[in-house]
Amino acid sequence: MIMKKEVLLILIPLFIMYSAVAQNINLGEQNKTFNKSIIEKNSLFDIFITIPQDYQAVEAGKELLTSIKLINLGSSGRIDVILNIEIKDSAGSLLLAKKETVAVETQANFVRTFTIPSDAKLGKYSIHVKLVYADGKEAAAESSFEIVKKSTAISRTVYFILIGIIALGGLIYMGMKSKTLIEKIKMKGQIRSLVRKKLKAR
């Protein structure tokens, strides 16, 4: 009986620790993309990477926006960590890589943007963030997104230019109309005074 209790006390924390791997899996969007945090054994850091809904499908040449959250679970005080960020396609080929050092006290939230090369192939991609801190200890997270075909819809700029042209045309048309109207009123006034003058002079 005592043996059974001890086994449970060991197994429950282990189960909780390893189940965190699947904690951040995003099953929305018909499993197209996911956000995953991998807490490595003995890691004192937790790391999350999230891609907002609007950026889960980006066009080549456009920017990919990500939100990264680091939580310092162990050491007290400020600690410098190295972040290795990689974007890979579904075959594992590297598209982009970035390395930077970040200082974390208890937790850090920041946004990072990546310009997707304009010649990038269409398809599913994943972004991996690996955090390396003292003694080579690591924590990692990943998320996915899709590079999609450039939309053929009229861009906002073109749309606003068109609206501007139409509005300008309307103003010109109204100006011309009002000019004709003013001329007509002027002419009527001229005729009225002419008739009055001529017929009074009789």
Contacts with another protein, residue ranges (CB under 8 A): 183-184, 187-188, 190-192, 194-199, 201-202
Please state the closest distance from residue 176 (CB atom) to another protein, in A.
Answer: 14
The residue among 176 and 194 lying less far from another protein, judged by its C-beta, is 194
Q: Can you read off the two tokens belonging to residue 31?
A: 């499993």
Please state the closest distance from residue 198 (CB atom) to another protein, in A.
Answer: 6
DSSP letters spanning the chain: -HHHHHHHHHHHHHHHHHHGGGTT---TGGGS--EEEE--TT--EEEEEE--GGGSEEETTSEEEEEEEEEE-S--S-EEEEEEEEEEETT--EEEEEEEEEEESSEEEEEEEEEPPTTPPSEEEEEEEEEEEGGGEEEEEEEEEEEEPPP-SPPHHHHHHHHHHHHHHHHHHHHHHHHHHHHHHHHHHHHHHHHHHHHH--
- Phi/psi for 4 (5° steps) reads -60, -45
The residue among 121 and 192 lying less far from another protein, judged by its C-beta, is 192
Please state the closest distance from residue 188 (CB atom) to another protein, in A.
Answer: 5
The residue among 41 and 198 lying less far from another protein, judged by its C-beta, is 198
Please state the closest distance from residue 58 (CB atom) to another protein, in A.
Answer: 57
Please state the closest distance from residue 185 (CB atom) to another protein, in A.
Answer: 10
The residue among 111 and 194 lying less far from another protein, judged by its C-beta, is 194
The residue among 172 and 185 lying less far from another protein, judged by its C-beta, is 185
